[in-house]
Amino acid sequence: MSERSASGTNIGTDPTALPTPTFDPAARHLTTRSGIDTEELTGRTFPYQFDRSLVDDVDLLAATPGEDLNWLEDVYLMTEDGVSAVFDRYTNAFLKIYFEIPKGREDEYARKVLIKHLRDGNSYGIWLKHAHAKFAQPELGSWLAGSATVGENWTPPQLAGWEAPIH
């Protein structure tokens, strides 16, 4: 397994082993186009976006809470900026997939990448839960047994020096 630095180069491996991501952290800015991808929000990529073997063992049935598969059945392989991608609802952004996907298994691999992304806690929406969850909930969702709980002690943010108007 290899990781990528913020500059997009591989760490501890041959830099030509993985494709160069389209995201350039040096030019980081939020676009004005209609879609925003995970790389743009976080400023990084994740190894499982480039290496199919890192998601091959994801068991989609085991990752689905309860008997309700509806939410996972609604996850499809899409494209963003001409690249295969899966939509992360927690972030409201696309997670690009750079590895070759076997024909006929497109949605399966989109789901596996998304589950890996959520289980590893890499979803930007999950990162925001620590500060903004207003009620107790599993940090990594019900798809990961034993997930820590966040939102138990939420308090509204206070702007320094601001006081609520007197009514």
Q: Is residue 86 part of a domain?
A: yes
Q: Is residue 33 part of a domain?
A: yes
User: Residues 149, 139: contact at Cβ < 8 Å?
Assistant: yes
Q: Is residue 162 part of a domain?
A: no
Domain of 66, in residue numbers: 3-150
User: What is the number of domains present in the chain?
Assistant: 1
The whole-number pLDDT of residue 4 equals: 37
Name the 3-class secondary structure at 150.
Answer: strand
> Given 3-state DSSP classes, what are the helix, strand and coil percentages for the chain, each rounded to the nearest 5?
25, 15, 60
The whole-number pLDDT of residue 95 equals: 94
User: What span, in angstroms and rounded, lies between the C-alpha atoms of 143 and 122?
Assistant: 14
Q: Is residue 167 part of a domain?
A: no
- Residue 55: alpha-carbon gap to chain centroid: 14
Q: Is residue 166 part of a domain?
A: no
Q: Is 41 left (phi over 0), alpha (psi -120 to 50) or beta?
A: alpha
The whole-number pLDDT of residue 156 equals: 83
Look up the pTM and report it.
0.69
The whole-number pLDDT of residue 124 equals: 84
Q: Is residue 78 part of a domain?
A: yes
Q: Is residue 163 part of a domain?
A: no
Kindly list the averaged pLDDT for each block of 10 residues, start to end, along the chain of length 167: 37 40 49 67 89 95 70 88 91 92 97 93 84 86 81 86 86
Q: Is residue 42 part of a domain?
A: yes
State the Cα angle at 41 between 38 and 47, rounded to 5°. Answer: 45
